[in-house]
Amino acid sequence: MEIIDILFTASFWAAAIRIASPLIFATLGELICERAGVLNLGIEGIMVAGAFAGWMAVYSGTALWTGVCVAMLVGMLFGLLHSTLTVPFGLSQHVVGLGITLLATSSTYYAYRLALPEVTSPPKIAAFQPYEIPILSDIPLLGPALFSQTPLTYLAFILVGVVSLVLYRTPLGLAVRAAGENPAAVAAQGLSVTAIRMGAVMVGSGLMAVGGAFLTMSAFDSFFFEMVNGRGWICIALVVFGSWRPGKALLGAILFAAFDALQIRVQQTSLGTHVPYQIFLMMPYILSILALILMSRRAQVPAALMVPFNKGER
Amino acid sequence: MTKEAVEALSLNEITKRFGELTANDAVSLSVNVGEVVALLGENGAGKTTLMNTLFGQYTADSGTVRVFGETLPPGNSRAALDAGVGMVHQHFTLADNLTVQENITLGVHSLLKFSLGRAAAKAQILALSKKFHLAVSPDAYVGTLSVGERQRVEILKALYRDVRILILDEPTAVLTPQETDDLFATLRLAIKEGLSIIFISHKLHEVMAIADRVVVLRHGKMAGGVKTKDTDKNALAAMMMGTEATPPDVSPAKPGAPLLALRTVTTPDIGSTPGLKSVSLTLKAGQIIGLAGVSGNGQAAMADVVGGVLSPSEGQVVLGSETAQKWTPRIAVQSGIARIPEDRHKTGTIADFDLVENAILERYTSADFSKSGWLNWSKSRAFADAIIDKYDVRCPGSDTPIRLLSGGNMQKLILGRVLEANPQIILANQPVRGLDIGAVNYVHSQLLAARERGAAVLLISEDLDEVMALSDVIHVIADGRLSPEFKRGDMTPAQLGLWMAGQGFEVDIPDAS
């Protein structure tokens, strides 16, 4: 009963949307990479780097939105490294991706220690504050949940539409989707597969970094080690869950976030006093696995995902 | 070339090497406006390489390409397209997850433009498809189209860009005779519009039918050029192969006992590829049964069932006189079935394994090569060396990874592996695909020798000439159904074409034996 009550509180849904936001950014980023045919396992590390870069920029005195741009830029740099190794050189996308994650994570921690050698607890910044959209935020339940979020959350939702529009309605999106399905088709039309794939990986990595930056600049106001905590890997699963479509991936992100928000609240109910809290922590992951099993049966994998393309090779 | 002819295209002394292999050796070619030039040659003669160089997909080691007098920058497909060169690749360059229209307009608009201009594009595609008789729906997803339809999309792709020179790489390889006629009708319309066409083929009658002029490539070199009205098929074949072509000498078969029979075998469809539909077939000792048909009509299912990879969902497999209870690849091999698989790279060999390992791949558990779970390497190596010797496999040694061998030598190793086991039943699926004429003749003679020895051979091939030349009994397979059997020479090509399109035969002959 208590669980049903939780489902009808605005604070629960507000929390779900907040938890979903970084996942939406990073999932969109991964989706763009994979649509172009590149699996980007650097996502976890790029999120860490983005979280640090955005926060550090703001801590050093730049504006919040400049911080977001700095995070994006850092993400794109890692994307450039990833795509240089995987696209023109055609190296294993698994090895390069995991390597990028290790490199980005450890170089971030190193940079943190270099920048702040003395501190014991990380300093705080003035993070993004919730902005209540006039009129819309007055709608019961929906208003506080959807329209009293920080600007970065609104940006995440707007980006779902933008990415969808670009992928399905523009020549560029067409080229990206074709590059992930049959790169030979792209080459035969006189386009550069290398440029399209590298561009997609860079933009996608930039979005992943913004997803990380959401954690330090909107969800919290500080940077901790381990704060990304596997969210990147969840996003990889969310792309599959969404069958490589932005709208469905958004649904997946909200669903996962809702499970996560729910388990925290269920821990505080009478049920929580009898059951070990670890069980609740597992819940979103178990439910995600179940949902994945159901959804991924009909998933349409880009046919050339993880297949390098070398022009002029026979 | 007549004096008033306008030159559309010229290739000057194109040389292209892949490592040790010289695929094109100083090849020159010119095409006039409104002319159809056929590029004729065996597999591996360098036809596709030459066209890919022209189209900017390969960069030539030397030589230049000129289109309407302008020299094209090397290795730039975009420049080739902009100059009016379009290419229909043998392996279609279409993305299955996109619609016909999306595939056609891909890359035509600037990537920075925000709109796709869908309505105008659709109207133009429909107009082109009407004008050139290329029926296809712009909104259909390419993944759902048949091979013939995909080819129409490929041609529309070129026409939509308003190309002036159209290259078609083996366009008829995947078509039924009727579809081929339709294609030719479309091409004639295109010529009327002033397009020039380069038509790559190794089918002589098609070349004679459509081309004004024929250029023959042999082993990467120009072997000659001639106007079609001044030549005939035999002369072309001689130019192509370097000698007068002689079909293998086949003596009448003396069929013996039935060795393997399929009784009303049905297998599930896989995607758009049909499975078998209540197929009955008996393989007899000392007989070659040929299976003709357009690719993707159930040949793969047939090969899988005979090879034990696929167990029928309905019907039985009968070995000798006993119905097989279980049907797996191991049982098939143990029952004396040897397989020459369709794709020697994918299913025939393991690329990084050496020749010894590949030679024993199917029978490593037999007493010849292992004992109580331990491999006997010295016997295995002797076996591989024997094959290399006897079948003239050109290689640095038996410890070479097989991926370093040419297709022909790889096929010889597979052939040796198959024949040295003295199989009762041989499944030969596209046994000569991609081989040069010498290797083809060798494989054919070995299959005939196996027949003489009393083996039953099932020959699956998309090359009608090959089926007709070797088989004692022929069936056509279309949409997973098997036609009644007929003997070599009993059918006209027109009748066969109808059957291959799945028309004109209704009943399978029930298995009498």
Residue A43 and residue B357: Cα distance in Å, rounded? 41
Are residues A97 and A305 in contact, defined by beta-carbon separation less than 8 angstroms? Answer: no
Chain A interface disruption, residue of B21, B49, B77, most A CBs within 10 A: B77
Contacts of A178 in chain B (CB under 8 A): 95, 98, 102-103, 106
Q: Identify the residue whose tokens are 């659709």.
A: B122
Q: Identify the residue whose tokens are 């290790």.
A: A102
Residue B428 and residue B319: Cα distance in Å, rounded? 18
Give phi and psi for A217, each to the nearest 5.
-115, -10
Give, for B478, the enclosing helix (H) or strand (E).
strand B473-478
Contacts of B95 in chain A (CB under 8 A): 177-178, 181-182, 185-186, 303
User: Tell me, what's the pLDDT at A203?
Assistant: 98
**B157 within some domain:** no
The model carries a pTM of 0.76
Greater confidence (B113 vs A77) lies with A77
Query: % helix / strand / coil in chain B, to the nearest 5?
Result: 35, 25, 40
Residue B457 and residue B476: Cα distance in Å, rounded? 16
Q: Do residue B181 and residue B286 come from a single domain?
A: no
Q: What is the per-residue pLDDT across A9-37, written as a single tens digit (0 to 9) for each?
A: 889 999 999 999 999 999 999 999 999 99
CB < 8 Å from B in window 173-192 of A:
174-175, 177-178, 181-182, 184-191
* Vertex A149 angle, CA A145 and A153, to 5°: 110
Which of B14-23, B477-486, B493-502 shows the lowest mean pLDDT across its residues? B493-502
Residue A313 and residue A77: Cα distance in Å, rounded? 29
Asked whether the predicted pLDDT for residue A102 surpasses 80, the reply is yes
Residue B395 and residue B399: Cα distance in Å, rounded? 9
When pLDDT is cut at 50, 70 and 90, the band that residue B512 belongs to is: very low
Q: Which of B213, B241, B269 is the last residue of a domain?
A: B241
Give the ranges where B11-161 is alpha helix by DSSP (H).
47-54, 77-82, 100-105, 118-131, 147-160
Q: What is the per-residue pLDDT across B260-311, written as a single tens digit (0 to 9) for each?
A: 999 999 998 876 678 899 999 999 999 999 998 877 788 889 999 999 999 9
Identity (one letter) of the amino acid at B299?
Answer: Q
User: Tell me, what's the pLDDT at A217?
Assistant: 96
User: Tell me, what's the pLDDT at B66?
Assistant: 93
User: Tell me, what's the pLDDT at A95?
Assistant: 97
Residue A155 and residue A133: Cα distance in Å, rounded? 13
Instruction: Provide the CA B377 distance to its chain's centre, in angstroms.
Output: 36
Q: Identify the residue whose tokens are 């919290």.
A: A220
Whether A189 sits inside 8 A of B96 (CB atoms) is no
Are residues A213 and A68 in contact, defined by beta-carbon separation less than 8 angstroms? Answer: yes
Asked whether the predicted pLDDT for residue B58 surpasses 70, the reply is yes
Does B160 touch chain A if contact means CB atoms closer than 8 Å?
no
Q: Which of A257, A249, A35 is nearest to A160 (CA)?
A: A249
Identity (one letter) of the amino acid at B489?
Answer: G
**Secondary structure (3-state) at B197:** strand
**Secondary structure (3-state) at B281:** strand
Q: Do residue B318 and residue B446 come from a single domain?
A: yes
User: Tell me, what's the pLDDT at B47?
Assistant: 86
Are residues B225 and B216 in contact, defined by beta-carbon separation less than 8 angstroms? Answer: yes
Q: Do residue B93 and residue B178 come from a single domain?
A: yes
Instruction: Provide the CA B291 distance to its chain's centre, in angstroms.
Output: 15
Asked whether the predicted pLDDT for residue A53 surpasses 90, the reply is yes
Residue A108 and residue A172: Cα distance in Å, rounded? 33
Are residues B35 and B53 in contact, defined by beta-carbon separation less than 8 angstroms? Answer: no
Greater confidence (B428 vs B218) lies with B428
What is the value of ipTM here, to two decimals?
Answer: 0.84
Facing B96 at nearest CB: one of A170, A181, A187? A181
| Residue B293 belongs to domain with CATH number | 3.40.50.300
Residue B385 and residue B390: Cα distance in Å, rounded? 9
Whether B106 sits inside 8 A of A184 (CB atoms) is no
When pLDDT is cut at 50, 70 and 90, the band that residue A313 belongs to is: low
Rounded to the nearest 10 degrees, the angle between the axes of helix A277-295 and helix A231-241 is 30
Greater confidence (A296 vs A44) lies with A44
Asked whether the predicted pLDDT for residue B513 surpasses 50, the reply is no
Are residues B417 and B361 in contact, defined by beta-carbon separation less than 8 angstroms? Answer: yes
Q: Do residue B199 and residue B329 come from a single domain?
A: no
User: Tell me, what's the pLDDT at B4?
Assistant: 64
Q: How many CB atoms lie within 10 A of CB A299?
A: 15
Q: Identify the residue whose tokens are 């009327």.
A: B192
**B51 within some domain:** yes
Does B162 touch chain A if contact means CB atoms closer than 8 Å?
no
Residue B168 and residue A6: Cα distance in Å, rounded? 65
Q: Do residue B319 and residue B446 come from a single domain?
A: yes
Q: Do residue B237 and residue B290 come from a single domain?
A: no
Q: What is the per-residue pLDDT across A110-158, written as a single tens digit (0 to 9) for each?
A: 999 999 988 888 899 999 999 988 888 888 888 888 898 999 999 999 9
Q: Do residue B206 and residue B68 come from a single domain?
A: yes
β-strand pairing of B322-323 with B314-319: antiparallel
Asked whether the predicted pLDDT for residue B453 surpasses 80, the reply is yes
**B26 within some domain:** yes
Q: For the purposes of burial, counting CB atoms within 10 Å of the CB of A223, is it exposed (0-12), middle (13-18) or buried (19 or more)?
A: buried
Facing A181 at nearest CB: one of B55, B95, B115? B95
C-alpha distances out from residue A85 to A96, A107, A246, A311, Å:
7, 19, 26, 16
Facing B111 at nearest CB: one of A171, A302, A303? A171
Q: Which of B180, B206, B241 is the last residue of a domain?
A: B241
Q: Do residue B309 and residue B183 come from a single domain?
A: no
C-alpha distances out from residue A42 to A54, A91, A213, Å:
18, 14, 16
Domain hosting B485: range is 258-336+423-506
Q: What is the largest CA-CA distance in chain B?
A: 80
Does A243 touch chain B if contact means CB atoms closer than 8 Å?
no
* Paired tokens of B444: 């054919």
Mean pLDDT across the stretch B191-211? 88
β-strand pairing of B473-478 with B481-482: antiparallel
User: Tell me, what's the pLDDT at B202?
Assistant: 72
When pLDDT is cut at 50, 70 and 90, the band that residue B240 belongs to is: confident
CB < 8 Å from B in window 249-308 of A:
300, 302-303
CA distance B506 to chain A (A): 36
C-alpha distances out from residue A97 to A37, A81, A84, A232, B477, Å:
14, 10, 12, 12, 47
User: Tell me, what's the pLDDT at A198?
Assistant: 97
Q: Do residue B208 and residue B311 come from a single domain?
A: no
Q: Which residues of B359-374 are buried (b: 16+ CB within 10 A; e: fewer)?
A: bbebbeeeeebbeeee
Q: Do residue B223 and residue B299 come from a single domain?
A: no
Q: Identify the residue whose tokens are 């014991």.
A: A120
Q: Which of A109, A5, A112, A25 is nearest to A75 (CA)?
A: A25
Residue A16 and residue A18: Cα distance in Å, rounded? 5
C-alpha distances out from residue A314 to A115, A181, A294, B93, B400, Å:
50, 19, 39, 15, 21
Chain B interface disruption, residue of A181, A186, A198, A301, most B CBs within 10 A: A181
Does B57 touch chain A if contact means CB atoms closer than 8 Å?
yes
**B48 within some domain:** yes
Q: Which of B215, B114, B300, B154 is nearest to A173 (CA)?
A: B114
Asked whether the predicted pLDDT for residue B312 surpasses 80, the reply is yes
For B502, half-sphere exposure in the C-beta direction (CA atoms, 13 angstrom radius) is 13
Contacts of B112 in chain A (CB under 8 A): 172
**B393 within some domain:** no
**Secondary structure (3-state) at A276:** coil
* Vertex B191 angle, CA B38 and B23, to 5°: 25
User: Tell me, what's the pLDDT at B324?
Assistant: 87
Are residues A125 and A221 in contact, defined by beta-carbon separation less than 8 angstroms? Answer: yes
Residue B57 and residue B91: Cα distance in Å, rounded? 14
Q: Identify the residue whose tokens are 């007929």.
A: B486
Q: How many CB atoms lie within 10 A of CB B112?
A: 8
Give, for B169, the enclosing helix (H) or strand (E).
strand B165-169
**B123 within some domain:** no
**B154 within some domain:** no
Whether B106 sits inside 8 A of A300 (CB atoms) is no
Does B193 touch chain A if contact means CB atoms closer than 8 Å?
no
Contacts of B76 in chain A (CB under 8 A): 190
Q: Which residues of A247-262 are buried (b: 16+ CB within 10 A; e: fewer)?
A: ebbbbbbbbbbbbbbb
Whether B75 sits inside 8 A of A312 (CB atoms) is yes
Are residues B468 and B444 in contact, defined by beta-carbon separation less than 8 angstroms? Answer: no
When pLDDT is cut at 50, 70 and 90, the band that residue A161 belongs to is: very high
Does A248 touch chain B if contact means CB atoms closer than 8 Å?
no
Asked whether the predicted pLDDT for residue A50 surpasses 60, the reply is yes
* Paired tokens of B441: 């003749």
Q: Do residue B307 and residue B436 come from a single domain?
A: yes
Give the ranges where A43-91 is alpha helix by DSSP (H).
43-59, 64-86
Contacts of A187 in chain B (CB under 8 A): 57, 77, 93
User: Tell me, what's the pLDDT at A66?
Assistant: 97
Can you count the helices (H) and strands (E) in chain A? 14, 0
Are residues B66 and B36 in contact, defined by beta-carbon separation less than 8 angstroms? Answer: no
Question: Counting every residue, how long is chain B?
Answer: 513
Structural domains in chain A, sorted by start:
2-113+143-296 (1.10.3470)
Residue A291 and residue A288: Cα distance in Å, rounded? 5
Greater confidence (B268 vs B236) lies with B268
Asked whether the predicted pLDDT for residue B510 surpasses 50, the reply is no
Name B35's Cβ contacts closer than 8 Å, sequence gap at least 6: B5, B8, B196, B197, B212, B213
When pLDDT is cut at 50, 70 and 90, the band that residue A97 belongs to is: very high
Are residues B100 and B138 in contact, defined by beta-carbon separation less than 8 angstroms? Answer: yes
Asked whether the predicted pLDDT for residue B1 surpasses 70, the reply is no
Give, for B214, the enclosing helix (H) or strand (E).
strand B213-218
Q: What is the per-residue pLDDT across B138-168, written as a single tens digit (0 to 9) for each?
A: 999 998 888 889 999 999 999 999 999 999 9
User: Tell me, what's the pLDDT at B376?
Assistant: 92
Q: What is the per-residue pLDDT across B375-430, written as a single tens digit (0 to 9) for each?
A: 999 999 999 999 999 888 888 889 888 888 877 788 889 999 998 988 999 999 98
Q: Do residue B177 and residue B229 come from a single domain?
A: yes
Name A235's Cβ contacts closer than 8 Å, sequence gap at least 6: A23, A26, A27, A29, A30, A43, A208, A211, A253
Instruction: Report how many domains make up chain B.
Output: 2
